[in-house]
Amino acid sequence: MQIKKYIPVLALVLLFPFKAMTQYADYDFTTEIFEECGVTKIKFTFFNTPSAEPITIYSWDFGSGMTSYVRDPDTLYFTTPGSYAMDIILFFGPDSEPLKYLIMKDTTFTVYPVITADFSYSDTTEIGYYAISFKHQDQDYSYAGIYEWDFGDGTGSDQRYVVHTYAGPGVYNVKLKVSNVIGCADSTTQIVTLAAPPGMPDIIASDTFGCGEARVKYSLANVDTDTITTINWDFGNGSSSSLVDPDTVIYNNPGLFDISVVINGDIIHRVIEEDLIHVQLLPSSDFSYNDTVTFDTYVLLATGAADTAATYTYSWDIEGVGSYEGQRQLVKFPFSDTSYIVKLTVADNFGCVSSDSTIISVFEELQVQNVFTPNNDGINDIFEVSSNGSVPLSIKIFTRTGSLVYETEGYTITWDGRTAWGLELSQGVYFYVLDAINNDPNKRFRKTGFIYLYR
């Protein structure tokens, strides 16, 4: 609270004696300001202590001809937008001395306008082929305006006037929201339809899609190539060209690629085709197979890398058994000691397909040869044990006196009659210990025995 000496009304002071030189412990008034959209309301409330001298006369002066003569004036309404400073003068006293007391205060407030978000737009092709100028049509709320543009292509702006360049033709829902610091807001949406401007060169691609790879030949249409003095292609994959008729461009990484071309150095009118080239990750047809507790039943599982944006179908073709659909299959083979060709074909929703096949040999018991002749005649030169790729194996080979001369691991075990250091072993009898590294709960791959090495 602040009490002011009433110098501007000195004539009244002389005519009507009052106590206006100090603050009053028993009297005061409060000012409440309510700033809303389009109107500001001000409420004044007089109060006094219980022991204060009774007051019957009140004379309020709010400036600009606004007055009141009651204890608590009616709420004042201000609707003209702007910032204001107000001096409030209050005389009050008993009937015998109506101007006995004086309180003067000042206050400031703002009237915020009702907001509308209407906007207009126009082509500005001198800036770019798809450049559009947007303008807010209502008054400039420079003291409180907050602007939020959404251009319908994932971009926006916080400026009142803005020029936005789109990537290409299309239909865009453009929205403008205008607000101020007290929460007054309005929004408007318009549909902006853009077509390729007349005379704009067209980028022609021989192909726009590839599975795993795309080979594309580019050319231009709607332009007289004889008028081109310089040209700069950007193919979106890190390569470029300065030829009107560029060489074939190879895309060998999956993704979407933007293509652009600048003709005669006119960067402002660069032609861009966003996501023109789509290279889809080639489906992988890799798969694993593992036998189960029963020797004739295998788990087939497609294990190739997948694109999270694609959906896949998995087709299995097993020779002599049948066809199946799905990423994982549990297959029972009808005969033991028989080899089966298993083929997996994987296709995605983009039309890309790949396939792979392997031979699975089903045997009831692991067979291990006991004789081999590593004499380089091309006949029985290698000692070999295979688990059909279902179980990794390990083997240790010893002399008859118990010395370890060779060991190895793998899905297929091979030995050429040499030590791990490459020394040729002499003819004789050797002892082996064969075991599965894992996935062999029934110990079907556990074997020991003798190997006869002849040269």
Interval 319-338: pLDDT, tens: 999 999 999 999 999 988 78
Is the pTM above the cut of 0.85?
Answer: no
Interval 391-426: pLDDT, tens: 788 999 999 999 999 999 988 889 999 998 999 999
Helix, strand or coil, per DSSP, at residue 267? helix
Q: What whole-number distance in Å separates Cα of residue 91 and Cα of residue 85? A: 20
List domains and CATH numbers for the chain. 10-111 (2.60.40.10), 119-194 (2.60.40.10), 202-280 (2.60.40.10), 287-362 (2.60.40.10), 371-453 (2.60.40.4070)
pLDDT at 284 over 60: yes
Q: So what's the pLDDT on residue 2? A: 30
Q: Are 311 and 241 in contact (CB under 8 A)?
A: no
The C-alpha angle with vertex 410 and arms to 404 and 416, in degrees rounded to 5, equals 55
Residue scoring higher pLDDT (393 or 355):
355
Q: What whole-number distance in Å separates Cα of residue 308 and Cα of residue 286? A: 17
Closest by alpha carbon to 100, among 199, 176, 27, 173? Answer: 27
Helix (H) or strand (E) holding 192: strand 185-194
pLDDT at 184 over 60: yes
pLDDT at 138 over 80: no
Interval 83-101: pLDDT, tens: 899 999 999 999 999 999 9
Which residue bears the tokens 């005669």?
A: 264
Q: What is the DSSP string of 34-64?
A: EEEBTEEEEEEEEEE-TTSPP--EEEEEEET
Helix, strand or coil, per DSSP, at residue 225? helix
What is the pLDDT averaged over residues 371-394? 85
Interval 36-77: pLDDT, tens: 888 999 999 999 999 999 999 999 999 989 999 999 999 999
What is the pLDDT averaged over residues 109-116? 87
Q: Which residues lie closer than 8 Å to 79 by C-beta, 6 or more apart?
A: 38, 39, 111
Q: So what's the pLDDT on residue 23? A: 67
As a residue count, the chain comes to 455
Q: Are 427 and 378 in contact (CB under 8 A)?
A: no
Closest by alpha carbon to 407, among 432, 370, 438, 381? Answer: 432
Q: What whole-number distance in Å separates Cα of residue 53 and Cα of residue 327? A: 95
Residue scoring higher pLDDT (197 or 216):
216
Residue 85 token pair:
């400073």
Q: Which residues lie closer than 8 Å to 323 by C-beta, 6 or more apart?
A: 315, 316, 317
Q: Identify the weakest region by mean pLDDT among 120-134, 141-155, 198-212.
A: 141-155
Instruction: Quickly state the pLDDT bin for 293 (edges 50, 70, 90).
Output: low
